[in-house]
Structure 1
Amino acid sequence: MLRITLSAEAHTGMWGDNALLAYDADGVVIHYQGEFPLRRIQQAGRQLQGQGISAVSLEGEGWSYERQWAFYCGLSSPKGAVKLRWASIDEDELELLNARHHSAEWLRKVINASPQEMYPERLAEEAVAFLSDIGGEHISHECIVGDALLEQGWVGVHSVGRASSRPPVMLTVDYNPTGQADAPVAACLVGKGITFDSGGYSIKPSAGMAAMKCDMGGAATVTAALGYAIAQGLNQRVKLYLCCAENLIAGNAYKLGDILTYKNGQTVEILNTDAEGRLVLADGLIAATETKAPLIIDAATLTGAAMMAVGTDYNALFSMDKSLLLKAQQLSDLVNEPAWPLPLETWHQSQLPSHYADTANGRSQKGGMAGASTAAAFLSRFVDTQQSQWLHVDLAACFRESPDSRWAAGATGLGVAHIAALLLG
Structure 2
Amino acid sequence: MSTCAIYLTTAPKPTYLAKGSLVSLDGNQAYIHLVDATGELTQIQKAARVLDGMGLQHVKLQGDWQIEQQWAFALSFTAAKKPSQIEWLDNKDRAELQHRFQAMQFTRQLINATPEDQSPELLAQACSDWLKTLTPHAVTSNFIVGEDLKTQGWHGIYQVGRGSTRPPVLAVIDFNPSKDPKSPVEACLVGKGITFDSGGYSIKASEGMLSMKCDMGGAATVVGGLGLAILRGLNKRVKVFLCCAENLISGHAYKLGDIITYKNGTTVEIVNTDAEGRLVLADGLMAASETGAPLIIDAATLTGAAHVALGDEYNALFALDKSLQSRVMAYAQQENEGAWCLPLEKFHREKCPSHFADTANSRAQKGGGSGGASNAAGFLSRFVNEDGTGWIHMDLAAAYNANASNMLPAGATAQGFRTIARTLIEG
Q: Give TM-score scaled by structure 1 length.
A: 0.97
2:35 and 2:321 map into 1 onto residues whose CA distance is: 39
Q: Which residue type is aligned with residue 78 of structure 1?
A: A
**Corresponding residue for 2:318?**
318
Alignment of 1:6-45 (within 5 A): 6-16=8-18, 19-34=21-36, 35-45=38-48
- Residue 353 (structure 1) aligned with residue 356 (structure 2): no
Deviation >6 Å, runs of 4+: none
Structure-to-structure mapping, 1:15-414, within 5 angstroms: 15-16=17-18, 19-34=21-36, 35-61=38-64, 63-90=65-92, 93-367=93-367, 368-386=369-387, 388-414=389-415
d(CA) in 2 for partners of 1:285, 1:237: 17
Q: Percent identity?
A: 51
- Output the CA distance in 1 between the equivalents of 2:40 and 2:235: 35
CA displacement at 1:148 relative to structure 2? 0.6
Q: Secondary structure at the match of 2:81?
A: coil
Report the residue type matching 1:234 in the other structure.
L
Question: In structure 1, the residue corresponding to 2:73 is in which secondary structure?
Answer: helix
| Whole-angstrom CA distance in 2 between matches of 1:171 and 1:228 | 20
Q: Which amino acid aligns with 1:376?
A: A
Q: Over residues 254-299 of structure 1, what are the superposed CA-to-partner deviations in whole Å (9 max), with x where a residue is unaligned?
A: 0000000000111000000000000000000000000111000000
Inter-partner Cα distance in structure 2 for 1:114 and 1:18: 37
CA separation of 1:5 and 1:385: change in aligned 2, threshold 3 A:
farther
Are 1:296 and 1:391, in contact at CA under 8 Å, matched by a contact in 2? yes
How big is each residue's C-alpha offset from its partner over 1:79-98, in whole Å with a ceiling of 9 and x where there is no partner? Answer: 132011111221xx211111
Mind listing any 5+ residue stretches in structure 2 that lack a counterpart?
none
Query: Hey, what's the Cα distance between the residues in 1 that align with 2:178 and 2:191?
Result: 24
CA contact (8 A) 2:320 2:388 kept: no
One-letter identity of the residue aligned with 1:402? N
Deviation at 1:385, TM superposition (A): 4.6
1:77-125 CA distance string (max 9 Å, x none): 11132011111221xx211111111111111111101000111111011
1:13-35 CA distances to partner (integer Å, 9 max, x unpaired)?
21135530011135110012312
Give, in whole Å, the separation in 1 of the partners of 2:333 and 2:157: 34
8 Å Cα contact 1:10-1:17 kept in structure 2: no
Task: Letter of the 1:104 partner, please give it.
Answer: M
Q: Is the 2:316–2:394 Cα contact (8 Å) retained in structure 1? A: yes
Secondary structure at the aligned position of 2:280 is classed as helix
Contact 1:54 1:75 in 2 (8 A): no
1:10 deviates by: 4.2
* CA–CA separation in structure 1 for the residues paired with 2:312 and 2:4: 31
Deviations 1:359-389 (A, max 9, x none): 0001122231100000000000000154741
Q: What are structure 1's unaligned runs of at least 5 residues?
A: none
Matched pairs, number: 422
Report if aligned partners of 2:321, 2:387 keep a CA contact under 8 Å in 1: no
TM-score when normalising by structure 2: 0.97
Q: CA deviation at 1:231?
A: 0.7
**Residue identity matched to 2:370:** M
CA distance in 2, matches of 1:306, 1:322: 19
State how far apart, in whole Å, the 1-side matches of 2:61 and 2:131 are.
Answer: 29
Distance 1:160 1:306 in 2: 22
Partners of 1:184 and 1:348 lie apart in 2 by 32
Q: 1:239 and 1:388, CA in 2 relative to 1: closer, same or farther beyond 3 A? A: farther
CA distance in 2, matches of 1:107, 1:49: 20
SS at match of 2:115: coil
> In 1, are the aligned partners of 2:188 and 2:297 still within 8 Å (CA)?
yes
Q: Per the alignment, do residues 373 and 10 of structure 1 end up closer, same or farther by CA in structure 2, a change over 3 Å counting?
A: farther
Cα distance in 1 for residues equivalent to 2:282 and 2:135:
27
The AA in structure 2 aligned to 1:397 is A
Code of the residue aligned with 1:369 in structure 2: it is S
| 2:319/2:388 contact within 8 Å kept | no
Counterpart residue type for residue 81 of structure 1: P
